[in-house]
Amino acid sequence: MLLEVADIAKTFTVRRGWPIPRNVSVRALDGVSFSVDHGEALGVVGESGCGKSTAARVVLRLIEADRGRIAFDGEDVLGASPARMRALRRRMQIVFQDPASALDPRQRVGAALAEPLAVHGIAKGAAVRARISAVLDEVGLPASSANRYPHEFSGGQRQRIGIARALALAPDLIIADEPVSALDVSVQAQILLLLAELKRRRRLAFVFVSHDLGVVRHFCERTVVMYLGRIIESGPTGALFDAPKHPYTQLLRGASPVPDPEAEKRVLIPEGEPPSPVAPPPGCHFNPRCPFATNICREIAPPLRDMGAGRVVACHHAT
Amino acid sequence: MTASPALSVRGLTTSLRIEGAWHDAVRDVSFDLAPGETLALVGESGCGKSLTAMTIMGLLPAGIGRLTSGSVRIGEIDTSALEDSAMEHIRGDAIGMIFQEPMSSLNPVLKVGFQIAEPLIYHRAMSRRAARRRSLELMELVRIPAAAERLDAYPHQFSGGMRQRVMIALAIACSPQVLIADEPTTALDVTVQAQVLELLNGLQREQGLGILLITHNLGVVAGNAQRVMVMYGGDVVESAPVHEFFASPRHPYSVALLAAMPRVDRPASDLAPIPGQVPSLVTMPDGCRYQGRCPLRIERCATLPPLVAIGDTGRHQVRCWVTAPPASEAS
């Protein structure tokens, strides 16, 4: 395995309330484990506040985990020294949803791409320019783009620049946090095909965070579903979405719109919204919204159970 | 015959001023919206779908946008002829609108109960007390839990889905005939999106509301609209009943849009992206505005094709020389 994440937890403390603010803790990650192999894309899905973006950032130590273990190519990430961490970060890059806010508006694209090369001491002088041209070409942009500013590009082109910057260091793993969510469908398809091509050609691994199950089904071999800081189901993407076992995955799948007016609405959407991660209910976090909840669900958090064929589910009643 | 339409738009052309010159951003859009019907207006950024809505609402920013030609009737009233001051009596009364981000439409320093009451006081001359009572009923109607306690809450105390419900309560306060919903669920999680759409569908059934649903999401269209109009570069390129549209889309852009959409209900297949991007208004080609990205382009595309009815019902219309040539020319 290229990346192995085991039993990660993260609690944020936020000050809330008026007129007297109090510290409340938000458990963003509660014992999350997953792994990604070379050349594999792992989808991470769930709704706002489920912890999917935190999980992605913890891997890069952009957020420090409270506990747990992360191994990248066998090396301990959480215990790595600053020097080792810099070396590891060369091999793990991130692509954000909104490349406009990840790029400096006053920095030319070429300079933005040269920066990581200088930081990591990978190329100097003319070699930098050659490397930038090559990586721009790889993401389908002309070499002349290097002399232009981010605002001169469309949203799709800016995302190509974001991808080019991640690629410049020749990483093994890309953490992609909603990389196509801000794009129109036609451009989204262009970027998805580009990512798929890079994945195949460079044998890149992806942790692919998205709220769009269609995008995940298209891009990821395996998927984990998160709910309030926990992974509640995982498995091969196709099987997971065709026959979800956890009632929450069923809900998510049933609520995802499909462009087919004949598709029957299979799931009744319960009233209410995901409970706040500040005060998640005891037992299974999903129990207040679950049509199948029984006493055990209100008391004991269900462990992840192996269901065979790569499927894992955290539900007392799933079969 | 069918009942008279709740909203009738004829030959609507809206222009935007860019660097001193006027460019047509919506061209010759015509449609009728029946009471109790949902018509979806779909297309990608810059296709003119939101601008069409803003024109109907009389909300074009002066000096930047103008209604160049065409007419809008809401119920019995020709609103395109109205002064701004008269239009203020129509907005929020005969026609309501909800937006993608309710937080930017709600006033952050006013209690939501008061904001819902405001149109009732303004349009219906209700007393404050009666309007407050009605606000509570409306909040219950849009199924906001513990509505009585939340009348005096502020918008930031609501979740995104609940805020959108507040917006809906506000928009339907005066029982409008028409509701324009511009990407109403785009900012919401899918389960909340499904709840809000179900709420809108329920209100529509009960009140006979005509809904103009503006969205980029063809999945939302399939599940919630009876008819669909696809726009590209300000032109309506296809218009059809929903079942017919998804079964046999005819305009090359509609076909491409469906092929570019990754689907959760099917095994991963090859996505077909649409090459290039939408030209800017300044660089739009003459004739069919999709021609630069279209695989079926012919010489004739340099002139704009008419919207041609295909099939037996006349309800499926397509604007394309290749896939829907005018009947007089079809062999």
Distance CA A212, CA A192 (A): 13
Give the whole-number percent of chain A exceeding pLDDT 90: 77
Q: What is the CA radius of gyration of chain B?
A: 21
pLDDT score, position B2: 55
**Which residues of chain B have a CB within 8 Å of the CB of A260?**
222, 246, 265
pLDDT score, position A245: 97
How many distinct helices (H) and strands (E) make up chain A? 11, 12
Give the pLDDT confidence of A19-49 residue by residue, as tens digits.
888 888 889 999 999 999 999 999 999 998 8
Distance CA B66, CA B15 (A): 5
pLDDT score, position A214: 95
For residue A265, name the pLDDT band (cuts at 50, 70, 90).
low
Torsional sign, CA A80, A81, A84, A86: positive
Of B204 and B101, the one with more pLDDT: B204
**Which residues, other chains included, contact B63 with Cβ-Cβ below 8 Å and sequence gap of 6+?**
B17
Q: What is the mean pLDDT of chain B?
A: 93
Burial class (CB in 10 A: 0-12, 13-18, 19+), A135: buried
pLDDT score, position B187: 86
For residue B1, name the pLDDT band (cuts at 50, 70, 90).
very low
Which of B258, B199, B299, B193 is CA-nearest to residue B43? Answer: B258
CA A42 to chain B, closest CA, distance in angstroms equals 15
**Which residues, other chains included, contact A72 with Cβ-Cβ below 8 Å and sequence gap of 6+?**
A2, A3, A88, A91, A92, A173
For residue A267, name the pLDDT band (cuts at 50, 70, 90).
low
Q: Are A177 and A60 in contact (CB under 8 A)?
A: no
Give the pLDDT confidence of B15-72 residue by residue, as tens digits.
999 999 999 999 999 999 999 999 999 999 889 999 999 999 999 988 899 999 999 9
Token pair for A223? 């998927």
Token pair for B142? 């849009």
- Nearest-by-Cβ selection for A269 from B195, B242, B268: B195
Give the pLDDT confidence of B302-311 residue by residue, as tens digits.
999 999 999 8
Q: Are B230 and B258 in contact (CB under 8 A)?
A: no
CA dist B194 to A32, A39, A250, B51, Å?
A: 28, 35, 14, 26
Distance CA B144, CA B169 (A): 10
Q: Are A172 and A73 in contact (CB under 8 A)?
A: yes
Put the strands of the sheet holding A222-227 in their side by side order.
A92-95, A173-177, A205-209, A41-45, A222-227, A230-236, A311-313, A305-308
Distance CA B62, CA A175 (A): 45
**Which residues of chain A have a CB within 8 Å of the CB of B246?**
259-261
Token pair for A102? 């990840």
Q: Give the pTM.
A: 0.92
Q: Could you tell me how far CA B126 lies from the centroid of its own chain? A: 30
Contact state of B268 with A238 under an 8 Å Cβ cutoff? yes
- Nearest-by-Cβ selection for B262 from A187, A218, A254: A218
* Separation of first and last alpha carbons in chain A: 28
Which of B180, B251, B141 is CA-nearest to residue B6? Answer: B180
Indicate if the pLDDT at residue B331 is higher than 60. Answer: no
**Which residues of chain A have a CB within 8 Å of the CB of B258?**
259
Beta bridge partners of B232: B235
Numbered residues of chain B with Cβ closer than 8 Å to any chain A Cβ: 44-45, 143, 145, 159-162, 189-195, 198, 216-223, 242-243, 246, 256-258, 260-265, 267-268, 271-275, 277
Q: Are A143 and A133 in contact (CB under 8 A)?
A: yes
In this structure, what DSSP letter does residue B127 have? -
Residues listed for chain B: 331
Give the pLDDT confidence of B157-178 residue by residue, as tens digits.
998 889 999 999 999 999 999 9
Give the pLDDT confidence of B132-166 residue by residue, as tens digits.
999 999 999 998 989 999 999 999 999 888 999 99
Indicate if the pLDDT at residue A247 is higher than 90. Answer: yes
Contact state of A47 with B189 under an 8 Å Cβ cutoff? yes
Fold of the CATH domain B7-94+174-330: Rossmann fold (3.40.50)
Rama region for B233: left / alpha / beta (φ>0; ψ in -120 to 50; rest):
left
**Which residues of chain B have a CB within 8 Å of the CB of A200?**
none
Q: What is the mean pLDDT of residues B83-93?
A: 90
Q: What is the mean pLDDT of residues A124-144?
A: 92
Token pair for B39? 């018509």
CA closest to B228 among chain A residues? A261
For residue A125, name the pLDDT band (cuts at 50, 70, 90).
confident
Give the pLDDT confidence of A69-116 residue by residue, as tens digits.
999 999 999 999 999 999 999 999 999 988 778 889 999 999 999 998
Burial class (CB in 10 A: 0-12, 13-18, 19+), B103: middle
Amino acid at B56: I
pLDDT score, position A266: 58
CA closest to B253 among chain A residues? A186
For residue B118, name the pLDDT band (cuts at 50, 70, 90).
very high
Ranges A135-139, B119-123, B278-282: which has the least confidence:
B278-282
Q: Are B48 and B234 in contact (CB under 8 A)?
A: yes
Distance CA A140, CA B248 (A): 33
